[in-house]
Amino acid sequence: MSEKEVVLLDFWPSPFGMRLRIALAEKGIDYEYKEEDLWNKSPLLLKSNPVHKKIPVLIHKGKPVCESLIALQYVEEVWPHKSPLLPSDPYARARARFWADYIDKKLYDLGRRTWATKGEEQEAAKKEFLDSLKLLEAELGDKPYFGGDKFGFVDAVLIPYYSWFYTYETCGNFSIEADCPKLIFWAKRCLEKESVKKSLPPQEKVYGFVLELKKRLGLL
Amino acid sequence: METVKLYGAWPSPYSCRVIWALKLKGIPFEYIEEDLYNKSPQLLQYNPVYNKIPVLVHGGRPICESMVILEYLDEKWPQQPLLPTDPYERAEARFWVKFAEDKGLSIRMIYRTEGEKQEKARRDALEMLTILEEHGLNGKKKFFGGDNINIVDIAFGWIAHWMGVIEEITGVKLVEGNKFPLLKAWMHNFKEVSLINENLPNREKMVAFFRTRRSLILSAAWHPDFGFISRR
């Protein structure tokens, strides 16, 4: 068993894991990172998330917290004074939760379809994906971050997808920057932060992983 | 105090969730009934992303998505709390709320489809109910919230009243015989809570409404999210 109070069961390309890495880094929380092999899940993962058997799982003092957005809020509530990601005003918090929910409803599945499908299905996914990003860009507006002047909850939830942009663009043969230049600008600003830089894998590494995955799934 | 308005629709379980929460906390509100086949300009203005009910408008500011609304209500009006105070227990409650949201889709799919797709949805729904029975309800007291209902009970409210309507309309039975004893007990207890009992849509009206809506959906002339569309 780990000696550290906080353990993160994760898988390096997962955008859901990345957002937790960012939050823990932002708050300066020391933790043990455990890489899971999703084709050979550890007994600890299966025991910690018996319902979904998925990463990420945050284990704090031996107790597991599953689902990345839930674990993010847990981290906020247990360590409220260190670099808070959620605003204090309830209405602003409701808006942050709304947009985090929107991001998770749309981007993972649409993004996946841009690299895992072909033809009409892929074209439809690309269009919807870009429409979602444009909506997020509109929500960002002229603010430096979704959180306003400071990097916040929605920023942490969205930025991990940036590490997958090269994969989406290359597999789908399209440019995200062409349609959403402000969003790319925002992403690069986020990447200047140490917590984000060290939590996101290089885009090319993610692309290599997806090519291997496509081979494995017989999609090439 | 700033006014609270709820844009809802009488047959919607999502709309009911917010009504239950508002009444549980004793928050006075104005209710505006939306015609789901003819949505008002105000609704479209308040919810430009999804164009859906429920929308809570507090002091002129809109909040969308029923569970986001419930967390907002809990923060602004802490009496009769919906969520526990301990962070770990809050995480557990939110886990089951998310489960209700994600896995509830399988039961909706039974209602929205037929043939093979419906059969797959039925299998998914049974799997979901089994997990709920074995992991969610196992070891619980009367409610997810203990002796009183909390946010998780409210999130699963649709199982107590709407699932039976779907079973009746589609003929697909999910909770039958001796299966799911804990779930059956919870459903019974939940509907016995007077606040819930007094704020449930009429069952006959619901059967008629959802039966018509299902024919529309299956005719492919109409999509519940996008309205009237033509098949490609």
103-162 of A, contacting B, C-beta below 8 A: 135
Mean pLDDT (whole number) for A166-180: 97
CATH class for the region spanning A6-78: alpha beta
What are the domain boundaries of chain B? 4-76, 87-219
User: For domain B4-76, is the CATH number 3.90.110.10?
Assistant: no
Quote the tokens at residue B41.
């300009």
Among A65-79, B36-50, B211-225, which stretch is predicted with the lowest mean pLDDT?
A: B211-225
C-alpha dihedral (B9, B10, B15, B20), degrees to nearest 10:
150
Question: How high is the pLDDT of residue B232?
Answer: 40
What are the domain boundaries of chain A? 6-78, 90-216
Cα–Cα separations (whole angstroms), residue A1 to A32, A44, A51, A117: 11, 10, 22, 41
Mean pLDDT (whole number) for A136-161: 97
Q: Which residues of A touch B68 (CB under 8 A)?
A: 94, 97-98, 101
Q: Which residues of A touch B131 (CB under 8 A)?
A: 51
Mean pLDDT (whole number) for B208-226: 82
Is B222 in the A-facing interface, judged by CB distances under 8 Å?
A: no
Which residue type sits at A171? Answer: C
B87-219: which CATH topology? Glutathione S-transferase Yfyf (Class Pi); Chain A, domain 2 (1.20.1050)
In angstroms, the CA B35 to CA B53 distance is 10
Q: Is the pLDDT of residue B231 over 60?
A: no
Q: Is the pLDDT of residue A1 over 70?
A: no
What are the two backbone dihedrals, phi and then psi, of residue B133, each rounded to the nearest 5 degrees?
Answer: -65, -45
* Among the four given CATH numbers 1.10.540.10, 3.10.270.10, 1.10.3720.10, 1.20.1050.10, the one describing domain A90-216: 1.20.1050.10
In angstroms, the CA A139 to CA A136 distance is 5
Q: Min CA distance, A135 vs chain B (Å)?
A: 8
Using one digit for the tens of pLDDT, what is the confidence trace for B84-106?
Answer: 999 999 999 999 999 999 888 89
Predicted ipTM of the assembly: 0.96
Q: Is the pLDDT of residue B226 over 70?
A: no
Mean pLDDT (whole number) for A11-24: 98
Q: Min CA distance, B125 vs chain A (Å)?
A: 14
DSSP assignment letter at A201: P
Using one digit for the tens of pLDDT, what is the confidence trace for B104-151?
Answer: 889 989 999 999 999 999 999 999 999 999 999 998 889 999 999 999
Q: How confident is the model at residue A219 (pLDDT cuts 50, 70, 90)?
A: confident
117-156 of B, contacting A, C-beta below 8 A: 131, 135
Q: Is the pLDDT of residue B227 over 70?
A: no
Is A80 in the B-facing interface, judged by CB distances under 8 Å?
A: no
Average pLDDT, chain A: 96
Q: How confident is the model at residue B1 (pLDDT cuts 50, 70, 90)?
A: confident
Q: Which of A74, A94, A102 minimises the CB distance to B91?
A: A74
Quote the tokens at residue B202.
């009429």
Q: What is the percentage of chain A residues whose pLDDT exceeds 70? A: 99
In angstroms, the CA A200 to CA B114 distance is 43
Is B60 in the A-facing interface, judged by CB distances under 8 Å?
A: no
Q: Is the pTM of this model over 0.90?
A: yes
Q: Min CA distance, A86 vs chain B (Å)?
A: 13
Q: Which residues of B touch A120 (CB under 8 A)?
A: none
